[in-house]
Structure 1
Amino acid sequence: VQYVDLPEIQFVAEDAADIQQNIITMYEGLIESTLQPADPVRLFLSSLAAVIVQQRVLINRTSKGNLLRYATGIVLDYKGADFGLIRLDAAPSITNLRFTLSIPLASVTTIPAGTRVGAQGGDGSIYFATTEYLEIPAGATTGMVTGECSTVGTTGNGFMPGQVNVLMDPLPFVQSVTNTTESSGGAATETDEAFRERIRTAPESYSTAGPQGSYEFWAKSASAAILDVHAYSPSEGKVTIVPLLADGVIPGEDMLETVAETLEDRGIRPLTDHVTVIAPISVPYTTTLTYYISRNRASEVTAIQTAVTSAVEAYQLWQRSKLGRHINPSELIARVMAAGALRLNVTAPVYTPLTATQVAQQGITTLTYGGLVDD
């Protein structure tokens, strides 16, 4: 949320020196005498001033917490309730599961809802359960159904096709089962920052989707895993939705279907709109730089090297965490310099403008420490 036009707000003054001086001045006026620095009364009044300062800090904190910009935790939940919104719960990862029979059968084969399929090498601690009842028709040998990770959060994300293949609930004639899509969509409980942004844009939802902001609001409401959304109309009567997942992850087919199902609600989508949900276009880039450290900071070399590595990783996260964010080496330079490097040579990435349907994705990263140099 951006509040660039609003200054910091303070409901009551909390400057400790001013408060202490005001109390002492008021007391001296009442007794018509001056208190010396070591006077016990002056010391008592100073301790009283400290209590008053603490109370004013609490007043400011509490009062600012009633504003959307500063609200956190349960207070933010109550702010959301004013708009009929609740914080999105942690979500489990999902993937498509394909069940294969050993032979075609003359009758229907049933796969009960809740059938468990473990991840390869997971020792049964990570598994996906079918979300609905599946029937494989007579004469057919395969059937597809959605599987949901038993553990909410990001634990189940990132299993590539073929890695979820251990049938934990044996079924007659079922020869094998495997996931056909990368598991994705798992997310922790919606953060304060993400929930605050949804509350800020809540008025967009008052009208049936149609305005860009309304489509983006409802798309973000589909899952706590969704970090950013871009909605646009390529032609009359058509709307394209482009979601991006937390940590800059490109959504798989399962998450695209989840968003599409949310927007299919007739109370959200105008009858005349044809809505398509697609993944953002990945724009890869490499990171290649050599950095140098001041000879005056030789004793800090190890710490600075660690800080530089963290700065590059933070830059890459920043770069992939928003749709249409231009690939900007200046941001990389600023972060590495702030981490303690004296100077650096960056050969990649180069500045690359992106469109709102594209997202930067880092490729090979090469960090070279060039040694100590004079200032």
Structure 2
Amino acid sequence: MFDLPDIDFTDKNAEDIESSIITLYEALTGRTLAAGDPVRLFLEAVAAIIVQQRILIDYAAKQNLLAYAEDEFLDHIGVLVGATRLAASAATTTIRFTLSAPQSEVVIIPDGIRVATASGVIFEVTEAGQIPIGELTVDVPAECTETGVDGNGFLPGQIKKLVDPIQWVQSAVNITESTGGADTEDDDNYRTRIRQAPESFSVAGPTGAYEYWAKTASQDIIDVAVYSPEPGTVEIRPLLDGGELPGEELLASVLETCNSSTVRPLTDKVVVLAPEVVNYNIVATYYIDSQDAAISAAIQQEVIAAVNDYVEWQKSKLGRDINPSELIRQVMEAGTKRIVVNEPVYAVLESYQVAIAGTVTLTFGGLEDG
């Protein structure tokens, strides 16, 4: 963690502690203790207790250090720099309500109206909307009634079962993919934000400050690109866990966080966009050593897993160059004799870009003699 060397506050080696106690006893009494001596057995029991105490002392001491602290201990360290753990959040989406016919009076869509998916996941309108006279539709924000990731990933049209009927309303359906649901922030993400927290103390608009505040919008954000395309303008591009692109609701949440008067310098114009996608294809042929013919089927499965890992690796960080050498390395480590990569070719990405795989064509070229 943070490229720091591992440390121990106490010596926890059981053999060293036991040897030290017995040696000290023998030196003080002038008596040599045999292996079955009751005194020796007693001292060995005492040594075991001391080992456990030292383990607890070492653990307690390490909970005061950012690299080792966990759970509630980490929460207490975060408070020192004003960084609190992000609570579980609910997925959000936008739902369009449509009337059966234009009405002669305004139709109100009250907050609290529920719309569900076919699997029973319920979303609730969080802000009342109104359909003007003569019009048919209104778009309103909605939030999953349960926190966590279960509300994520419902594509437009999948949330359409109106739980609470409203007069004149013919249909209700989501028009954006539901995103933003997350479990309570885990220790690793929280630890990273605590380390970045001092960047937020500046009101001069440094890159680190915008990165820190953007990540506070959702624990699903694993990387943030901050740059200025022109004087006075700051573009922020968040990337989600697993290389997923943020939806409109999450982008709006990041903008709200980073555009706050307590975060944004007065002269900055903050713009929040999804990362720019750079697509690439994989076209490769690999060969297995004939001496490994008996395990060739297992190697082929390992190669497929290695390619999938490469695809995941490539999209898990903004600005990561498209690097076929990494693909070759992972496939070779899977047990192949050699691999010929026709695509992708090496390409340099900007800090706000992310590489996403398109088609993957992986061919087994057969066995070759070494």
- TM-based fold match above 0.5: yes
Q: How far has the Cα of 1:231 moved from its partner?
A: 1.3
Q: How far has the Cα of 1:323 moved from its partner?
A: 1.0
Structure 1: segments with no counterpart, 5+ residues: none
Q: Specify whether residues 90 and 292 from structure 1 end up closer, same or farther in structure 2 by C-alpha distance, changes over 3 A only.
A: farther
Q: Contact 1:209 / 1:268 at 8 angstroms: preserved in 2?
A: no
1:109 to 85, 94, 107: 107
Q: Specify whether residues 336 and 20 from structure 1 end up closer, same or farther in structure 2 by C-alpha distance, changes over 3 A only.
A: farther
**Whole-angstrom distance in 2 between the partners of 1:71 and 1:45:** 33
Aligned partner of 1:341 in structure 2 is: 335
Residue type at the aligned position of 1:11: F
**Whole-angstrom distance in 1 between the partners of 2:25 and 2:13:** 19
363-372 or 265-274, larger mean C-alpha shift: 363-372
Q: Specify whether residues 236 and 221 from structure 1 end up closer, same or farther in structure 2 by C-alpha distance, changes over 3 A only.
A: same
Q: Map 1:222-261 onto structure 2 (within 5 A).
A: 222-261=217-256
CA offset digits 1:144-189 (Å, max 9, x no partner): 1112122322222222222222222221222222222222222222
Residue type at the aligned position of 2:2: Y
Q: Map 1:1-375 onto structure 2 (within 5 A).
A: 3-4=2-3, 6-119=4-117, 122-123=118-119, 125-208=120-203, 210-289=205-284, 307-338=302-333, 340-347=334-341, 348-368=343-363
Q: Specify whether residues 48 and 294 from structure 1 end up closer, same or farther in structure 2 by C-alpha distance, changes over 3 A only.
A: farther
Q: How far has the Cα of 1:30 moved from its partner?
A: 1.3
Q: Specify whether residues 346 and 169 from structure 1 end up closer, same or farther in structure 2 by C-alpha distance, changes over 3 A only.
A: farther
Q: How far has the Cα of 1:263 moved from its partner?
A: 2.1
Q: How far has the Cα of 1:275 moved from its partner?
A: 0.8
48-57 or 181-190, larger mean C-alpha shift: 48-57
Q: Specify whether residues 259 and 365 from structure 1 end up closer, same or farther in structure 2 by C-alpha distance, changes over 3 A only.
A: same
**Whole-angstrom distance in 1 between the partners of 2:154 and 2:62:** 43
Q: Contact 2:177 / 2:247 at 8 angstroms: preserved in 1?
A: yes
Structure 2: segments with no counterpart, 5+ residues: none
**Whole-angstrom distance in 2 between the partners of 1:351 and 1:153:** 38
252-261 or 157-166, larger mean C-alpha shift: 157-166
- Count of residues paired in the alignment: 369
Q: How far has the Cα of 1:196 moved from its partner?
A: 0.7
Q: Specify whether residues 211 and 159 from structure 1 end up closer, same or farther in structure 2 by C-alpha distance, changes over 3 A only.
A: same
CA offset digits 1:270-317 (Å, max 9, x no partner): 222111111101122334555566777777666665555444433333
**Whole-angstrom distance in 2 between the partners of 1:279 and 1:107:** 39
Q: Specify whether residues 191 and 314 from structure 1 end up closer, same or farther in structure 2 by C-alpha distance, changes over 3 A only.
A: farther
**Whole-angstrom distance in 2 between the partners of 1:35 and 1:350:** 71
Residue type at the aligned position of 1:260: L
Helix, strand or coil for the counterpart of 1:20?
helix
TM-score norm. by structure 2 comes to: 0.89
Q: Specify whether residues 334 and 126 from structure 1 end up closer, same or farther in structure 2 by C-alpha distance, changes over 3 A only.
A: same
Residue type at the aligned position of 1:114: G
Helix, strand or coil for the counterpart of 1:283?
strand
Residue type at the aligned position of 1:151: E
Helix, strand or coil for the counterpart of 2:11?
coil
Q: How far has the Cα of 1:44 moved from its partner?
A: 3.8
156-165 or 89-98, larger mean C-alpha shift: 156-165
Q: Specify whether residues 71 and 178 from structure 1 end up closer, same or farther in structure 2 by C-alpha distance, changes over 3 A only.
A: same
The percentage of counterpart residues that share the same residue type is: 50
CA offset digits 1:99-145 (Å, max 9, x no partner): 222222221110011222222xx24x113221111011112211111
TM-score norm. by structure 1 comes to: 0.88
**Whole-angstrom distance in 2 between the partners of 1:47 and 1:363:** 63
**Whole-angstrom distance in 2 between the partners of 1:294 and 1:74:** 52
Q: How far has the Cα of 1:7 moved from its partner?
A: 1.6
**Whole-angstrom distance in 2 between the partners of 1:252 and 1:172:** 31
225-234 or 37-46, larger mean C-alpha shift: 37-46
Helix, strand or coil for the counterpart of 2:130?
strand
RMSD: 2.6
Q: Specify whether residues 371 and 187 from structure 1 end up closer, same or farther in structure 2 by C-alpha distance, changes over 3 A only.
A: farther
Q: Contact 1:208 / 1:270 at 8 angstroms: preserved in 2?
A: yes
**Whole-angstrom distance in 1 between the partners of 2:284 and 2:96:** 45
